[in-house]
């Protein structure tokens, strides 16, 4: 019993987080930056922060994640890190030759009060940024928000810096991608292509964090959104943000700066959210939904109908990021499962209203919470009060799953102890089938494990 001290008695906490259901802002900024072609993320802070962020991304994506650091020492921690960053920019361009450096701050540089905008302006004025190369930044103080906030902040940095409005429309729809796996980005592009929609996705980590092994190491893989594409976002006819938390600020900025109107949809997880995404894309790109996509939808429906009896009434606990928790909860309710406990360490007022709307009368017993005290300790306490049949979330849930003997489906970020998440999409109708396969696999393995010998079924 690894978590034997967790009790079922919940005491209201104001200022303590135990086992947070989130990680720190710069990880999100780093992941978003990797979705630009030829980009080297740069962490303005101590080496320890950068190592932690890189190693978490590397362990999740099973790809070497490159990033540089301002490498604060005691001196820079007291007097500020301007000289470190100026030197870093010079060294990075001369040694690693990226197209762009995407700088994010850390707790330490934010606490000192380093002004990244001022430092980068100085770097440009002093000629440390070669012609045709770029340095962008965002602020990621990790004592507020979460990795999702950091991701959103870097997207805001991309639009603020690059998007340009020339007045001549390129008729494209910007797909502003929320925090999803590289394979999910690839899947959304596949769907858009099938619909013959004129789209441009940013950021796009496909081809960068799910690259092939071909015997050659490439420092800057060929995937990702190009700088020209980022500039072209300002001439689009519309932006569709995929995931409210991660994309709304960037979409708003594009509207404010370049008059590109926007809409936000949920990450297309499950049947309804995928329906809404495809309907929105069809409307904004003015294209039809092809029969082949309708067939994909039909296959998902068929699988649901075939396996419904194994899902009906099963109690589920989930934790992670709002942008996937919301459509996933909706999908589970649609499957006649009971998502009874849901926590997210990422703050944001909409969480409660969306959950109420989805769970409302269908799962009136559900408990959900987000923000600083909505942690995995609380989730575990709720589970101790009344057990669940399934746990869905990142690798950190394995301790609860083991102690409480609950079937466990790994989903979200980070997944440090399994593979597949970055290769097999869970968005769209095909992705819905993948989620179903994983849920059913976990539930049916448990039925087999617990069945007395005389009741072990060959056919299920
Ligand atoms: S100090 Fe802040 S930025 Fe660095 S690893 Fe810790 S939470 Fe993240």
Cis peptide before 414 (omega within 30 of 0): yes
What is the whole-number distance in angstroms between the Cα of residue 142 and the centre of ligand 1? Answer: 6
- Of ligand 1's atoms, which has the minimum distance to the CA of residue 26? 3
The pLDDT score that the predictor gives to residue 14 is 86
What DSSP letter does each residue of 40-90 carry, written as one string? EEEEES-HHHHHHHHHHHHHHHTSPPP-EE----HHHHHH-SHHHHHHHHH
Tokens of 259: 């008059």
| Burial bucket for residue 453 (CB in 10 Å: 0-12, 13-18, 19+) | exposed
How far apart CA 408 and CA 402 sit, in angstroms, is 9
What is the whole-number distance in angstroms between the Cα of residue 43 and the centre of ligand 1? Answer: 11
List the one residue out of 52, 48, 53 whose CA is nearest residue 27: 53
What is the whole-number distance in angstroms between the Cα of residue 24 and the centre of ligand 1? Answer: 6
Tokens of 121: 């302006």
What DSSP letter does each residue of 400-449 carry, written as one string? HHHHHT--EEE-SS---S---TTTS--SHHHHHHHHHHHHHHHHHHHHHH
Cis peptide before 203 (omega within 30 of 0): yes
How far apart CA 114 and CA 78 sit, in angstroms, is 11
* pLDDT at residue 159 greater than cutoff 90: yes
Nearest CA to ligand 1 atom 2: 107
- The stretch 225-249 carries a mean pLDDT of 98
- Of ligand 1's atoms, which has the minimum distance to the CA of residue 107? 2
Q: Which string of b and e fits 417-430 if b means at least 16 CB within 10 Å?
A: eeeebbebbbbbbb
* pLDDT at residue 1 greater than cutoff 90: no
Strand 199-202 and strand 173-177: pairing? parallel
Domain ranges of the chain: 25-162, 173-291, 292-453
How far apart CA 422 and CA 185 sit, in angstroms, is 10
pLDDT digits (tens, 9 = 90+) for 81-101: 999 999 999 999 999 999 999
Nearest CA to ligand 1 atom 5: 49
Confirm if 335 and 311 have CB atoms less than 8 A apart. yes
**CATH T-level topology, domain 292-453:** Rossmann fold (3.40.50)
What is the whole-number distance in angstroms between the Cα of residue 60 and the centre of ligand 1? Answer: 18
**Homologous superfamily assigned to 173-291:** Nitrogenase molybdenum iron protein domain (3.40.50.1980)
Percent of the chain residues past pLDDT 90, beyond the cut: 95
Nearest CA to ligand 1 atom 6: 49
User: Which of 23, 43, 49, 110 should be mutated for ligand 1, with most atoms under 8 A from CB?
Assistant: 49
pLDDT digits (tens, 9 = 90+) for 105-133: 999 999 999 999 999 999 999 999 999 99
Nearest CA to ligand 1 atom 1: 107
- Categorize the per-residue pLDDT at 62 as very low, low, confident or very high, splitting at 50, 70 and 90: very high
**Homologous superfamily assigned to 25-162:** Nitrogenase molybdenum iron protein domain (3.40.50.1980)
* pLDDT at residue 211 greater than cutoff 90: no
What is the whole-number distance in angstroms between the Cα of residue 22 and the centre of ligand 1? Answer: 12
What is the whole-number distance in angstroms between the Cα of residue 124 and the centre of ligand 1? Answer: 28
How far apart CA 269 and CA 180 sit, in angstroms, is 10
* pLDDT at residue 70 greater than cutoff 90: yes
How far apart CA 204 and CA 122 sit, in angstroms, is 30
Question: What value does the mean pLDDT of the chain take?
Answer: 97
- Categorize the per-residue pLDDT at 184 as very low, low, confident or very high, splitting at 50, 70 and 90: very high
Confirm if 384 and 310 have CB atoms less than 8 A apart. no
pLDDT digits (tens, 9 = 90+) for 292-338: 999 999 999 999 999 999 999 999 999 999 999 999 999 999 999 99
Region of residue 371 (left: phi > 0; alpha: psi -120 to 50; beta: else): left
- Of ligand 1's atoms, which has the minimum distance to the CA of residue 52? 5
How far apart CA 415 and CA 324 sit, in angstroms, is 15
The pLDDT score that the predictor gives to residue 15 is 86
- Of ligand 1's atoms, which has the minimum distance to the CA of residue 108? 1
What is the whole-number distance in angstroms between the Cα of residue 287 and the centre of ligand 1? Answer: 45
User: Which of 17, 26, 138, 149 should be mutated for ligand 1, with most atoms under 8 A from CB?
Assistant: 26
User: Which of 27, 52, 145, 414 should be mutated for ligand 1, with most atoms under 8 A from CB?
Assistant: 52
Query: Any residues with CB less than 8 A from the CB of 449 and at least 6 apart, and which?
Result: none
Tokens of 216: 């050659």
List the one residue out of 187, 179, 199 whose CA is nearest residue 242: 179
Confirm if 29 and 102 have CB atoms less than 8 A apart. yes
Confirm if 334 and 300 have CB atoms less than 8 A apart. no
List the one residue out of 425, 28, 36 whose CA is nearest residue 208: 36
- The stretch 252-262 carries a mean pLDDT of 98
Phi and psi of 62, rounded to 5°?
Answer: 55, 35
Tokens of 450: 């617990």
* Ligand 1 binding pocket, CB closer than 6 Å: 24, 26, 49, 52, 106-107, 142
Residue with tokens 């906490």: 13
Residue with tokens 């101590």: 46
List the one residue out of 297, 321, 239, 335 whose CA is nearest residue 27: 321
pLDDT digits (tens, 9 = 90+) for 200-209: 999 999 999 9
The pLDDT score that the predictor gives to residue 10 is 94
How far apart CA 11 and CA 298 sit, in angstroms, is 47
Neighbour count for residue 458 (Cβ, 10 Å): 4
């Amino acid at each position: 019993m690894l978590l034997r001290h967790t009790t079922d008695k919940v005491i209201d906490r104001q200022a303590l987080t135990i086992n947070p259901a989130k990680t720190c802002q710069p990880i999100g900024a780093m992941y978003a930056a990797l979705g630009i072609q030829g980009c080297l993320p740069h962490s303005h802070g101590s080496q320890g922060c950068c190592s932690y962020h890189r190693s978490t991304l590397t362990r999740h994506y099973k790809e070497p994640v490159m990033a540089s650091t301002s490498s604060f020492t005691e001196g820079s921690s007291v007097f500020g890190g301007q000289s470190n960053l100026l030197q870093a920019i010079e060294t990075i361009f001369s040694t690693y030759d990226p197209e762009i450096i995407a700088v994010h701050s850390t707790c330490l540089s934010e606490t000192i009060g380093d002004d990244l905008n001022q430092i980068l302006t100085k770097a440009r004025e002093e000629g440390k940024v070669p012609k045709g190369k770029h340095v962008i930044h965002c602020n990621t103080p990790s004592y507020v928000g979460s990795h999702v906030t950091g991701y959103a902040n870097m997207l805001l940095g991309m639009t603020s810096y690059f998007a340009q409005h020339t007045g001549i429309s390129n008729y494209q729809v910007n797909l502003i991608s929320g925090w999803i796996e590289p394979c999910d980005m690839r899947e959304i592009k596949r769907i858009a292509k099938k619909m013959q929609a004129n789209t441009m996705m940013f950021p796009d980590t496909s081809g960068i964090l799910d690259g092939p092994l071909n015997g050659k190491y490439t420092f800057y893989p060929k995937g990702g959104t190009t700088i020209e594409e980022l500039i072209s976002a300002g001439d689009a006819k519309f932006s569709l943000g995929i995931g409210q938390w991660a994309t709304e600020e960037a979409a708003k900025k594009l509207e404010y700066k370049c008059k590109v109107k926007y809409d936000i949809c949920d990450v297309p997880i499950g049947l309804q959210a995928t329906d809404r995404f495809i309907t929105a894309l069809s409307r904004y790109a003015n294209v039809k939904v092809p029969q082949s996509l309708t067939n994909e939808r039909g296959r998902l429906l068929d699988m649901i109908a075939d396996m419904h009896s194994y899902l009906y009434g099963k109690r589920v606990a989930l934790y992670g990021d709002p942008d996937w928790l919301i459509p996933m909860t909706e999908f589970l309710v649609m499957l006649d499962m009971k998502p009874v406990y849901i926590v997210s360490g990422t703050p944001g007022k909409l969480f409660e209203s969306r959950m109420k709307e989805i769970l409302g009368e269908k799962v009136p017993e559900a408990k959900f919470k987000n923000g600083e005290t909505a942690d995995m300790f609380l989730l575990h306490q709720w589970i101790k009060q009344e057990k669940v049949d399934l746990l869905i979330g990142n690798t950190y849930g394995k301790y609860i799953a083991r102690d409480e003997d609950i079937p466990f489906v790994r989903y979200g970020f980070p997944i440090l102890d399994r593979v597949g998440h970055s290769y097999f999409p869970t968005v769209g109708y095909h992705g819905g089938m993948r989620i179903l396969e994983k849920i059913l696999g976990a539930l049916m393995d448990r039925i087999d494990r617990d069945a007395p010998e005389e009741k072990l079924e060959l056919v299920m």
